[in-house]
Structure 1
Amino acid sequence: MGERGRGTWGVAMRFSVFDTPLAGPIEARLDSAAKAFLDGGGLRVDFSEPKGEPALVGPDSVSWRVFKNPVSLFIGGVAAVLLEFAEPRVRSGVWDHSTFRQDPVTRLKRTGLAAMVTVYGARSVAEQMIEGVNRRHARVAGATPSGEPYSATDPELLRWVQATASYGFLEAYSAYVSPLTDADRNRYYAESQASAALYGAAGAPASLDEQKALFARMLPRLEPSGIVFEFLQIMKKAPALPQPLQLSQHSFVRAAVDITPPEVRAILGLGRRYGLRPFEARVVRRMGRRADRIVLRSAPAAQACRRLGLPEDYLYRPC
């Protein structure tokens, strides 16, 4: 079979394992993966407690809607890191002061758990967790290979990380799950202000227009790096997703490249071959939409709904 034939067959197989006939086994595996995820590399979080305590944002927020989808979260997270790594100070701070290269899965778990606690966790739990993150960030400082100093507490860098994360998760959900309006985006950026303030990201975008303005201001600072390509290879190979989603991990990484702004892709050297093929794009959208209908009892979204006395499927009902 030719190379093109093998590629098409592989994509078809990746889709078939996620389609409706295997829904039951897939739900069980994803629910089991949700339990493992909540270990967070050693930190256990119960999103169902304390009973009745609200989160930083409410269950009718765009944030709660977006963060429940494991497919778009993975894609959006990769896109966010691509944007972060385009900024040399952020790139050096992450690459030089984390275990990402040695133990990417644990690092991804911790980062993902922090995002989930920020959105779904009880306010007191989220505030305590963010305080701990800030203490660790206070110890992160150094210089880029070109000699430019950086600090993880720099509000400009925190603002960039906040904005790129918001962009990645929003655009992944909109592109591969359900289209979001500009009004949805504005709501999300406004909702993120409470957590941005706690993280020290002063001046983080509070609207879509502010996000676009920040990206335009930061564009001259962005630059290419071989680390970006090393990161992409790690994300394709690391067992970051449960089976059967691991079969689609290569496609999800390419999906992340696809939603990265074209001007940033050009700077990073991420040409067309790094993005999705036409058939692959349709497959990823089908998977994203399917994942948005699977209620995982062990996942943070369902646990948080129980904490607030809401049905587990509250976030999965038609708007």
Structure 2
Amino acid sequence: MREQAIPLPPDPVPVAAPGGKRILPRIDYANPPGAPALYPPDSVAWAVFKNPVALFVGGITAVLLELGEPRVRSGVWEHSIFPTDPLTRLQRTGYVTHVSVYAPASVATKVITGVTRMHERVRGQTPRGEAYHANDPELLDWVQCTVGFGFMEAYSAYCRTLTPAEKDRSYVEARPSAELFLAHGAPLSVAEQQAQFEAMRPRLEPHAIIGDFLDIMLATRGVPLPLRPFQGMMVRAAIALLPDWARKTLELDGAEWRLRGWELRTVRTLGALFERLPIPGTPPVEASKRLGLPANYLYRRRKA
């Protein structure tokens, strides 16, 4: 549940929007020079999270799996701004994701610690009376598992194919971040991820909130302007990543959610385009410069 309710850390410097509304604090990804991140620059994560196609598609896949679990679903919908202000929630999600991967480790640690402190207060009961707590180890491990699966598989399916070894490595590389998020039982390989899916499978169920979430993702401007005409097919691309049993369990196997062949080719074309398109001033570019690497470092490499 860590993605759905992210506090604003007290610093770095807060940024004011027009009219005085407080928005996310600014992170200086370019400084201090040489400061390492939680992930090394040759990690799978640095490759994956630079690509907005993988971010949007993979994030939806992860949240669908999370919302299928009753305790996570109640925690998200009852303690998150997502139902009332989805754009802000998406911005905060992107913020914490980029901080976790690209910011100096000291900054990432501070932000993640703030998230876990806030989650300590997130608790309640599902409509069926089952207790939940955002810092429940089982739920933290499940969220970490779904996040690792969603982003990595979206990148591999639609941006650049990852080898089995790279997929395993992505879970190992995520361990420092997972430990900070208190997900001490997060998977360390594809095999462990699949085992966690099987263990959680009996708990997943369909729910109207899943449909509400998808309606929001279809309507909210959650991607960069050039990608907005393709947002609907990217939502379907996220559903297509779910295991067959999960699509059936969550009742997302209907024709309206099916990714057509030409849509698959389009999403892959978009993913490949953003593999070659560094955007000045973005966290991946600025973090590369911080570590003395070329600004296009992540966009010219062929292997993660």
Q: Same fold (TM over 0.5)?
A: yes
2:212 aligned with 1:230 = yes
Mapping 1:1-319, distance limit 5 Å? 41-273=23-255, 274-319=257-302
Q: Deviation per CA, 1:195-239, whole angstroms, max 9, x where unpaired? A: 110010011001111101111111011111010011000000001
Alpha-carbon distance between aligned partners in 2 of 1:176 and 1:121, rounded to the nearest angstrom? 25
Matched AA of 1:276: L
Taking a change above 3 Å as real, the CA distance of residues 40 and 164 of structure 1, as seen in their structure-2 partners, is farther
Greater fraction of residues in helix: 1
Alpha-carbon distance between aligned partners in 2 of 1:287 and 1:105, rounded to the nearest angstrom? 22
Alpha-carbon distance between aligned partners in 1 of 2:263 and 2:58, rounded to the nearest angstrom? 17
Q: Which has the larger displacement, 41-50 or 117-126?
A: 41-50
Partner SS state of residue 162, structure 2:
coil
Partner SS state of residue 150, structure 1:
strand
Q: Which has the larger displacement, 273-282 or 221-230?
A: 273-282
Partner residue in 1 for 2:5:
none
Alpha-carbon distance between aligned partners in 2 of 1:307 and 1:244, rounded to the nearest angstrom? 28
Percent identity, aligned pairs only? 51
Matched AA of 1:214: Q
User: Is the 1:40–1:110 Cα contact (8 Å) retained in structure 2?
Assistant: no
Q: Deviation per CA, 1:122-180, whole angstroms, max 9, x where unpaired? A: 00000000011111111100011111000001010000000100100011001101111
Matched AA of 2:41: P
User: Is the 1:77–1:165 Cα contact (8 Å) retained in structure 2?
Assistant: yes
Q: Deviation per CA, 1:97-139, whole angstroms, max 9, x where unpaired? A: 0110111011011111111111111000000000111111111
Alpha-carbon distance between aligned partners in 2 of 1:198 and 1:136, rounded to the nearest angstrom? 14
Matched AA of 2:298: L
Alpha-carbon distance between aligned partners in 1 of 2:32 and 2:248, rounded to the nearest angstrom? 47
Matched AA of 1:147: G
User: Is the 1:40–1:113 Cα contact (8 Å) retained in structure 2?
Assistant: no
Matched AA of 1:116: H
1:49 deviates by 1.6
1:43 deviates by 2.1
Alpha-carbon distance between aligned partners in 2 of 1:164 and 1:205, rounded to the nearest angstrom? 10
Q: Relative contact order, CA 8 A, sep 6+: which one is greater?
A: 1
1:40 deviates by 9.9
Matched AA of 1:127: T
Partner SS state of residue 43, structure 1:
coil
Structure 1 spans left out of the alignment, 5+ residues: 1-35
Partner SS state of residue 171, structure 1:
helix
Q: Deviation per CA, 1:16-50, whole angstroms, max 9, x where unpaired? A: xxxxxxxxxxxxxxxxxxxx9xx994222121122
Alpha-carbon distance between aligned partners in 2 of 1:200 and 1:134, rounded to the nearest angstrom? 8
1:317 deviates by 1.4
Alpha-carbon distance between aligned partners in 2 of 1:64 and 1:298, rounded to the nearest angstrom? 16
Runs of 4+ in 1 over 3 A off after TM superposition: none
User: Is the 1:83–1:164 Cα contact (8 Å) retained in structure 2?
Assistant: yes
Alpha-carbon distance between aligned partners in 2 of 1:276 and 1:123, rounded to the nearest angstrom? 38
Matched AA of 1:262: D
1:272 deviates by 3.9
Partner residue in 2 for 1:4:
none
Structure 2 spans left out of the alignment, 5+ residues: 1-16
Partner SS state of residue 244, structure 1:
helix
